[in-house]
Amino acid sequence: MTIVAAFLVPGTPLPLLRPDNPPWSRIANGYRAAARALATQRPDVLLVYSTQWIAVLDELWQLRPLISGVHVDENWYEYGELAYEIRIDVEVARGCVEGSKAVGISAKGVDYDQFPIDTGTIVANTFLNSHNQWPLVIAANNLYHSWDDTMRLGEMAARVADKKSKKVVVIGIGGMSGSILRKEIDIRGDSIASAADDAWNRRILDAFQKADVARLKELCPAYVKEAKPDMGFKHFAWILGALGGRIYGARLHGYGPSYGSGAAVVEFKV
């Protein structure tokens, strides 16, 4: 495989819109460190899975060559707008549509003007690909897909890119613990919603850093149940599938709260 890097990153817009806020600056700084690491790899394409692009029938893949616009997050609209411009590697994306079908998953491409790009994809692309240097292949999060389905999609997407001789960076976009604080807070004092959530997040991050896949497979079902990471933590399933079910360690670039929920920027060794 020609995978040169892999990253798990959060989709929350708060570190992008308010990087001056100390609790969120940790994530913004982590994203910037990840961007520098990514740039050294000089990839041909970024394979992206965002838990925030929701699909319910087929697995969807973005096929429009250039997408641009201004987006307002449905939850954090008071913090401002998100302008974006994203290039798509249409050749690889079309291959992923057909590749999905080949692994037993119904799929189709989407290609129309003003398609509603999700916040997570915009945030990750803005931080990691700020000059639009590299094209993306973007996969949707089908609500009915299991962890194993998502692993198969990640594995397939990496294989398609490899067959086209592309140097690949894999990106899974989503949060850690999912407990959002339900009351207004002074954002300067933002923290993980509970000690239990924080402990769970750190347990998973420790297993990442130790490359303990067996431990992760043991922990993840309970982590999903107890800490409620975004969409069953399928953004990690995408990464794990693309990496062939193996990780070789990880570097934690940033960890902190996003209005009570957990957010982490993790670079996996490949």
CATH number of the domain within which 182 lies:
3.40.830.10
pLDDT at 172 over 70: yes
Instruction: Give how many domains the chain has, as a whole number.
Output: 1
Give the whole-angstrom CA distance, residue 253 versus residue 6: 13
pLDDT of residue 38: 98
Give the whole-angstrom CA distance, residue 40 versus residue 66: 24
Identify the band that residue 210 occupies on the pLDDT scale cut at 50, 70 and 90: very high
Instruction: Kindly report the pTM of this predicted structure.
Output: 0.96
In the chain, % of residues over pLDDT 70: 100
pLDDT of residue 250: 97
Where does the chain have alpha helices with state H?
14-17, 22-41, 90-102, 119-128, 147-163, 195-209, 213-227, 234-242
Identify the band that residue 114 occupies on the pLDDT scale cut at 50, 70 and 90: confident
Domain coverage including residue 82 = 3-268
Identify the band that residue 1 occupies on the pLDDT scale cut at 50, 70 and 90: low
Rg (CA), the chain: 17
CA-based end-to-end distance of the chain: 10
Cβ atoms of 66 and 87 within 8 Å: the answer is: yes
Q: What's the whole-number average pLDDT of the chain? A: 96
